[in-house]
Amino acid sequence: MGLNPEEVSAILQKEINRFETKLEMDSVGVVLQVGDGIARVWGLRDVMMSELVVFGGDVTGMVLNLEADNVGVAILGSDREIKEGDLVKRTGKVSQVPVGPALIGRVINPLGEPLDGEGPIASTASRLLESIAPNVVERQPVKEPLQTGLRAIDSMIPIGRGQRELIIGDRQTGKTAIAVDAIINQKGTGVHCIYVAIGQKASSVARVIEVLRRHGAMAYTTVVSATANDPAPLQYIAPYAGCAIGEDDMVNGRHALVIYDDLSKHAQAYRQLSLLLRRPPGREAYPGDIFYCHSRLLERAAKLNDELGGGSLTALPVIETQAGDVSAYIPTNVISITDGQIYLEPELFFSGVRPAINVGISVSRVGGKAQTKAMKKVAASLRLDLAQYRELEAFARFGAELDEMTKQQLARGEKMVELLKQDQYVPETLSRQVIAIWAGVSGRLDRFAVTDVRRLEFLLYEYLRLVVPDIEQGIEKDKDIPIVRWLKLRRHSFVLDSFRTIMNWLEAKGHLSGIPPVLATIFEQRFCHHIIELIAAGKLTNIFFAVFKTRQTVKEPEEAKLREIIAAFKPQFLIEDWMAGKKKSLQAEDESIVQIESDFYAFVTGQDGKIPAAIAADGHLSAETTAKLETLLEAFRKKREGKTA
């Protein structure tokens, strides 16, 4: 078959017409030297500071040094595949990180790449890692409280939205626990939390993420992770990435809380980079601009004025000290930048005072401006009282003879220290904190033993919450405690004496027999709480008031009522306690242990109603009853497994 010259000519002409002379130019350089996460590159004459460059395939670097004949590049990834002579290409872009709602609930690295295996980040918006902090005109004073849920902090070292509050202390003193508590307490407040892990062990970061998930906090939290296994450049940019994510909320009128855990390791990563880049070392071998490195980060935390939307970015940087030395270089730098510090003392931690906050050194420079009216009223004298207690305690150690007033101050101070203790990952509502601190500073707990303080204040709160709910609800709504509410609170504080009277009655009448000594105090507390629930449900008249009227003694007919309640409650308590050793094999993820115990007791009473009666008659779990419970537990387990399947 012959070719038609005209057709060939037409095809060639068409292709010639489609051809475009387009020339692409790239600014490229050559690697002169590479090692320890740093590359020296020749030829990038017009490159910008902090610009991203690409090595060969897909390894990214960030320009940190601009010198006469070469540039120093921090490699944001593995440097194993990079060698001398490789080409390096400019991108023309400065370091950015994705921002927006798509990051909520995700775990990312400082480059915005997902680490949680849940797919790519569905965000089209991004923000520069480095940006200029809001100026004075763009800010407004810090005056809106950011509740941490920790009594010691919210009462004496209040934090406000837009503030920078340092958490400082030796390793293993509870610094991260305070930060995580603050995150957990933001549930339902609309605050976007960003936890930045810098140089931490991967197992520690995984543990924090697990705690946040267990408490439902990942629903409003983003985790930026640069672990100890990551290169120093990634650890260096991690806090700036977290700050940029929080800034996006601030400039859009929302509120954000960012935790930098911790800036000591960040300073070490920057020191490593600076020394490898041949920058002149200064004090403790840190570069001369280490102060600026942290100040430009922390100054970006602010509360914007109303014209700019009124958004805020609150920063809680963490610093680890060595042997309690707060006068070291990095700690003093960050203390001078922030608006206050929460100092955690190892001696307090190991003596059982947790959170181990040293009130004497800790301070919030915002003060009462970032405190609710209710907390300000009840905690006004708390800080001074504790300071005087510490002073008197030190004096009393010398064995000097003390007057009655001093003994009373020491006794109350000891109870206040006990009152400020708090379990890990259990932040409290404002009303719970206010009622507890009021009970302490008003002297309502003075006549009770230190060991009774925490359970009595808990029962007081539960009584007010369930029986007189308008007090608790009013504090939560108004954030205040006006004189009418104050008087009502005083009027109902009689229940503290009634609780203690009923506990004494339980012991005196032998109702604690059959209960292991270690569980006796738990039984007393839960029994009083059970009575509160019955009163709140309208199934019982206010027996606490009746006990109070009879000069704190239990008389008939109240005694008969209490015996009747014990007959029903004690079997349930003993069965649920027996269940305590078995529940781990039954507990599903995110399921309440208390609910499992309650379900099992209901199952037991439904299958064999004679068991509770037998326990009530014996006063303890007999061998025969225990054997029956073992059989019922197996049936209960199979029933649950069938439901799960």
d(CA 281, CA 267): 13
Angle (CA) 39-44-46 rounded to 5° is 135
Residues 43-50, mean pLDDT to the nearest whole number: 90
Last residue of a domain, one of 79, 96, 113: 96
Residue 329 lies in a domain: yes
Structure tokens at 102: 């798509």
pLDDT digits (tens, 9 = 90+) for 348-406: 999 999 999 998 889 999 878 899 999 999 999 898 899 889 888 888 877 667 888 88
- The band of 22, judged by pLDDT with boundaries at 50, 70 and 90, is low
pLDDT score for 160: 96
Say whether both 415 and 323 belong to one domain.
no
DSSP state, residue 218: G
Say whether both 385 and 363 belong to one domain: no
Phi (first) and psi of residue 64, to 5 degrees: -120, -25
pLDDT exceeds 70 at position 589: no
CB atoms within 10 A of CB 613: 14
Low-confidence winner among 46-60, 227-241, 439-453 (lowest mean pLDDT): 46-60
Residues 31 and 156 in one domain: no
Q: Do 527 and 433 have their domain in common?
A: yes
40-49, 267-276, 429-438, range with the lowest pLDDT: 40-49
Residue 633 covered by a domain: yes
- CATH number of the domain to which 280 belongs: 3.40.50.300
Whole-number average pLDDT of the chain: 91
Q: What is the pLDDT of residue 393?
A: 86
* Distance (Å, whole) CA 453 – CA 457: 6
C-alpha distances out from residue 37 to 1, 65, 215, 232, Å:
64, 14, 38, 7
Examine the fold and report which residue of 346, 371, 396 is the final residue of a domain before the chain moves on. 371
Residue 179 lies in a domain: yes
Q: Could you tell me if residue 119 is inside a domain?
A: no
Q: Which of 171, 365, 490, 563 is catalytic?
A: 365
Please give the pLDDT value at position 144. Answer: 94
Would you say residue 428 has pLDDT above 70? yes
365 part of the active site: yes
Mean pLDDT of 529-543: 93
Place of tokens 């995150």: 183
Q: The whole model's pTM is what?
A: 0.90
245 and 392 assigned to the same domain: no
Considering only CA atoms, which of 532, 440, 434 is closest in space to residue 486?
Answer: 434
77 and 193 inside one domain: no
pLDDT-based confidence at residue 21 (cuts at 50, 70, 90): low
pLDDT at 645: 45
**What mean pLDDT do residues 570-577 have?**
86
Domain termination residue (choose one: 478, 512, 546) = 546
Are 345 and 395 within one domain? no
Residue 588 has pLDDT above 80, yes or no: no
Same domain for 253 and 278, yes or no, is: yes
Query: pLDDT tens digits for 53-105?
Result: 999 878 999 999 999 899 999 999 888 889 999 999 999 899 999 999 999 99
**Domain containing 320: what range?**
144-371
In a domain, 126, yes or no: no
Render 377-435 in DSSP notation, one character per residue: HHSTTHHHHHHHHHHHHHHHTTT----HHHHHHHHHHHHHHHHT---TT----HHHHHH
Strand partners, 198: 226
* 376 inside domain: no
- With respect to residue 573, please indicate whether it lies within any of the assigned structural domains: no
Q: What does the DSSP assignment read for 158-213?
A: --BTT-B-EEEESTTSSHHHHHHHHHHTTTTTTEEEEEEEES--HHHHHHHHHHHH
Identify whether residues 191 and 334 lie together within a single domain. yes
Per DSSP, the three-state class of 337 is helix
Nearest to 194 by CA among 155, 217, 224: 224
**364 lies in the same domain as 434:** no
- Let me know if residue 579 belongs to a domain: no
Looking at the fold, whether 518 and 630 belong to one and the same domain comes out as no
Low-confidence winner among 6-15, 44-53, 96-105, 501-510 (lowest mean pLDDT): 6-15
CA atoms of 395 and 102, how far apart (whole Å): 57
Number of domains forming the structure of the chain? 4
30-46 burial string, b = 16+ CB within 10 Å, else e? ebeebeebbbbbebbee
**pLDDT for residue 290:** 96
Count of Cβ atoms closer than 10 Å to residue 509 Cβ: 14
Percent of the chain with pLDDT over 90: 69
Letter for the amino acid at 46?
D
- Structure tokens given for 636: 């209960």
CATH of residue 487:
1.20.150.20
Does 471 lie in the same domain as 424? yes
